[in-house]
Structure 1
């Protein structure tokens, strides 16, 4: 079958989020064809180029989210009135909760969204209209309307301008020409690799051409928006209105998707609370390549007394609690060492690393003396590059520690399990679901409990060995690339088997041939040839490999 893979800031870009997962999926499903529709987040991302693409990728079309692509169309009077009606409806859906007797909130949001999309398809000119004074005045009227949210009523002109600008950016996929019959209309299934803008493109493909939509969220986009929207000094009115928009978009995506695949039960619970139908949810764990960890995982267990932490250094990892816990561990087991392996994430991570190093010096003044070399200091801060491989970093510890206060799917924990290491983790995100009884779990921000669990494993090598072996067996059973690819292959077949054939093929007299495109039409082999008939101009032709295009042409 032919899959339209929708990604935002990810595949096929070199530095994209979730790009590795998408690449493994595409390469593992060589029996299918893929059309990639990629939304880029920055000029730098586009300039750095793409990863090498396998032959089953027929073409790649890109669209920038970091710049506005005006089409030069000036809306006429009738089109301006049409835009005002739809944008008024959208603003009202964001600002005024619908009473029980009125049109449901989800229906108002969806009507406005698809109305704007149809305007963009029929007339063009939507980017300029979304930035116009008409849009700002519509937001102002909605904020001042009876029954408007309290925070919305307090919005002033600067806040309204900020909301209008953010909505224009979020709605840019509406103006792309991806949704015609020769675009996403020619695929059998749209697979959005995330929520948000990528899933919005799938919504529009379903609306215009009836293509079924599959949405995969390893990190729930709405949750991410909630966590990041309060991290700065954004005005309350802006946060509330944007949260209403992203909540409405998530609800519509979950309502229209044929299937939603969360990456773990933690994400699944978020999706259910945001309106996803439980019957549509199928948990599919991220697939990881177990081969790089095989040698360490099958080697004899570590017999030392070293605790190892591996990951990206940032405040969410709570290394402060880990250092205080290690101080208690040293009192119980004086010969124990702690290796912190990883690099800081940005400027905030660099500052946090400096703070952690200073705390280590303060907690162990007689031993530190400004040095951080293994064997001279009980705490060492090391780069991952200092080890021959990532697996060797995990192999350096008898016990692997995870001390996070916020975590989605703990990839580092799975890597430690593949290495056959006993683990001590904090109970956050999907940790309990992943570890499944093969490691010790303690409350977050509790150095005493973390220290007690570490000491317990350090003093019992036989238990460490049993837990490490069980952890590796669990990881190989649930979290491998092969398991992930097999799950999605089955989901693809299930969705397509329940979706009607949409391609209309005509015979020489112009009459439709209802069975002219059989299910095996995309199966390689001599039986895949099509019968002689006349097909529409948009019918799929031979494989076409698109080449990178300038950003301003990416969506065209």
Structure 2
């Protein structure tokens, strides 16, 4: 079958967050053909380029919604009237009290607002299709005035009514960026209309092209989320004014609800994401939990030889940023040292951006304060109880070596999605002590100790208990490795999605029916073998072309021009 893979800031970009997962999925499903439709997040990502693509990726179309460009389209009077109507309806849906608010609307009123949002969204999409784009209209004074009227109208929630003009301008600009996929030329019969299934690798803007492909072409939609966009909004907008936070949260919530309503199947990566999806209105009957697939091979040697270099060493591995709460870990380690004077802590990771670099400097200073009498020089790592290191050096060539160097792996986060680092430690057969955040409990099951976040004393007590009990550490490590190999490998992830693809296609009505000379449906008019990838064209003839309003590209990757087929008619 032909899959339209929809991504935002991920595959096929080298620096894409979900790139590795998508690459493994595409390579593992070599029997299928993939068209990738990717939204980039920044100029640097496009400069870094793409990962090497397998032959089953026949085409890549990209768009740069971060890049402000004027499409040059001037709407006529009738089109401006339609735009004001649809945008006003969308703004009203965002300003109306949501069911989760203390003064929330009734369930019936909430359903009415959801329908209003959907009708406005698809109305704007149809207008963009008719006119060739809406980029200029979404940045116009008409959009800002419509948003202001909705915020001042009776029934708007309090935070919306308090929005000032600068805040309205900010919200309008953010909505314009989120809605730029409406202006893409991806929703024709020779683009997403030609695929058998759209698979959105995340929610939010990545799923919006899938919604429009379903609306215009009846293409079924599969949505995979390892992190829910609404949750990410709450975490990344902590200091924004209440009006901006509430209006953008309403948009992400309404878009998520519509995405879940239209999707054929929704695959959360863990129970934590599943709860967020249900909160946003996802139907439980559509939910299938599919854990992330991780490559166990790099950790096989450490897992098969669980002996550690030092039974008194603890290791923390990950990106260094405030959400990881290394401050609590350092305070906990101070208590561990009082109970076990020979203990050592290795913090292995790189800072995440400027904020991470500042946080690393703060943690180094705190370590110096907590252990003032210890050696603290670059050549005294062996005697310093806390070391800050990176992988790639002679002592720790890889992350597997970091896990193998310690008896115990610690996670101290206050915010966490799916704890990939813990799963890597489990592949290595290491016992773990973790804070109870995100999907930690779901990942480790009963193979590690879990303590409350921001509680250094509880973290220290759990670590000391395992440091003093090597037999228990060995049992937990063996159980952790067995659990990780059963649930979190690439193979189980690929098998799950292969089955879901077939399930969705088996329940999808035929969309492209071949007719005979009398206008009647022709059974098996396009047999399944008509849609077979192959080298049908000269590679030199396949060149990149510009598409859309100057900010999208259509790049056929391989010289595999599949013959048009009606999969539905042959089913």
Please indicate the TM-score interval, normalised by the length of the shorter structure.
Answer: over 0.9
Distance (whole Å) between structure 2 residues aligned to residue 215 and residue 144 of structure 1: 35
1:304 to 304, 307, 311: 311
2:151 is equivalent to residue 143 of structure 1: yes
SS in 2 for 1:338: strand
Residue number in structure 2 paired with 1:236: 242
Distance (whole Å) between structure 1 residues aligned to residue 289 and residue 415 of structure 2: 21
When residues 200 and 242 of structure 1 are mapped into structure 2, their CA distance, relative to the original with a 3 A threshold, is: same
SS in 1 for 2:374: helix
Mapped contact 2:316–2:347 kept (Cα < 8 A): yes
Mapped contact 2:133–2:182 kept (Cα < 8 A): no
2:279 is equivalent to residue 273 of structure 1: yes
Distance (whole Å) between structure 2 residues aligned to residue 13 and residue 444 of structure 1: 34
SS in 1 for 2:67: coil
Cα RMSD, aligned residues only: 2.1
When residues 372 and 283 of structure 1 are mapped into structure 2, their CA distance, relative to the original with a 3 A threshold, is: farther
> What is the CA deviation profile of residues 252-302 of structure 1, one whole-angstrom value per residue up to 9, with x for unaligned ones?
001110011000001001110111001100000000000000011101422
SS in 2 for 1:376: coil
Mapped contact 1:285–1:478 kept (Cα < 8 A): yes
2:380 is equivalent to residue 354 of structure 1: no
Q: How does 1:7-406 map onto structure 2 within 5 Å?
A: 7-97=7-97, 100=106, 104-230=112-238, 232=239, 234-302=240-308, 304-371=311-378, 373-386=380-393, 387-406=396-415
Calculate the TM-score normalised by the size of structure 2: 0.91
Residue number in structure 2 paired with 1:493: 502
**Residue 522 of structure 1, CA deviation:** 3.9
When residues 373 and 479 of structure 1 are mapped into structure 2, their CA distance, relative to the original with a 3 A threshold, is: farther
1:552 to 550, 553, 556: 550
Residue number in structure 2 paired with 1:534: none
> What is the CA deviation profile of residues 222-250 of structure 1, one whole-angstrom value per residue up to 9, with x for unaligned ones?
110111122x3x32222211111111101
**Residue 517 of structure 1, CA deviation:** 3.0
Mapped contact 1:60–1:546 kept (Cα < 8 A): no
When residues 224 and 542 of structure 1 are mapped into structure 2, their CA distance, relative to the original with a 3 A threshold, is: farther
1:418 to 409, 415, 427: 427
Distance (whole Å) between structure 2 residues aligned to residue 157 and residue 430 of structure 1: 40
When residues 243 and 259 of structure 1 are mapped into structure 2, their CA distance, relative to the original with a 3 A threshold, is: same
**Residue 379 of structure 1, CA deviation:** 0.8
SS in 2 for 1:365: coil
Residue number in structure 2 paired with 1:535: none
Unaligned runs of 5+ residues in structure 2 are: 99-104, 555-571
Mapped contact 1:37–1:60 kept (Cα < 8 A): yes
**Residue 503 of structure 1, CA deviation:** 1.4
Distance (whole Å) between structure 2 residues aligned to residue 352 and residue 162 of structure 1: 29
SS in 1 for 2:351: coil
Residue number in structure 2 paired with 1:529: none
Distance (whole Å) between structure 1 residues aligned to residue 516 and residue 476 of structure 2: 65
Mapped contact 1:199–1:253 kept (Cα < 8 A): yes
Distance (whole Å) between structure 1 residues aligned to residue 527 and residue 243 of structure 2: 53
SS in 2 for 1:268: helix
Distance (whole Å) between structure 2 residues aligned to residue 146 and residue 227 of structure 1: 30
> What is the CA deviation profile of residues 115-136 of structure 1, one whole-angstrom value per residue up to 9, with x for unaligned ones?
0000001122411111111111
Distance (whole Å) between structure 1 residues aligned to residue 187 and residue 537 of structure 2: 18
Distance (whole Å) between structure 2 residues aligned to residue 319 and residue 94 of structure 1: 38
Distance (whole Å) between structure 1 residues aligned to residue 335 and residue 530 of structure 2: 66
**Residue 512 of structure 1, CA deviation:** 3.8
Mapped contact 2:544–2:553 kept (Cα < 8 A): no
1:462 to 455, 462, 471: 471
Mapped contact 1:263–1:284 kept (Cα < 8 A): yes
How many residues in Structure 1 have an aligned counterpart in Structure 2? 540
Distance (whole Å) between structure 1 residues aligned to residue 322 and residue 295 of structure 2: 28
Mapped contact 1:60–1:547 kept (Cα < 8 A): no
Residue number in structure 1 paired with 2:559: none
SS in 2 for 1:61: strand
2:508 is equivalent to residue 502 of structure 1: no
**Residue 511 of structure 1, CA deviation:** 4.8
Mapped contact 1:11–1:18 kept (Cα < 8 A): yes
Distance (whole Å) between structure 2 residues aligned to residue 307 and residue 97 of structure 1: 49
**Residue 549 of structure 1, CA deviation:** 6.0
SS in 2 for 1:3: strand
Q: Mean alpha-carbon deviation: is it higher for 257-266 or for 507-516? A: 507-516
Residue number in structure 1 paired with 2:558: none
Residue number in structure 2 paired with 1:480: 489
Distance (whole Å) between structure 1 residues aligned to residue 172 and residue 533 of structure 2: 49
Residue number in structure 2 paired with 1:4: 4
SS in 2 for 1:305: strand
Distance (whole Å) between structure 1 residues aligned to residue 49 and residue 306 of structure 2: 42
Distance (whole Å) between structure 2 residues aligned to residue 185 and residue 514 of structure 1: 21
Distance (whole Å) between structure 2 residues aligned to residue 151 and residue 519 of structure 1: 55
Distance (whole Å) between structure 2 residues aligned to residue 369 and residue 280 of structure 1: 55
When residues 84 and 326 of structure 1 are mapped into structure 2, their CA distance, relative to the original with a 3 A threshold, is: same
Distance (whole Å) between structure 2 residues aligned to residue 322 and residue 213 of structure 1: 43
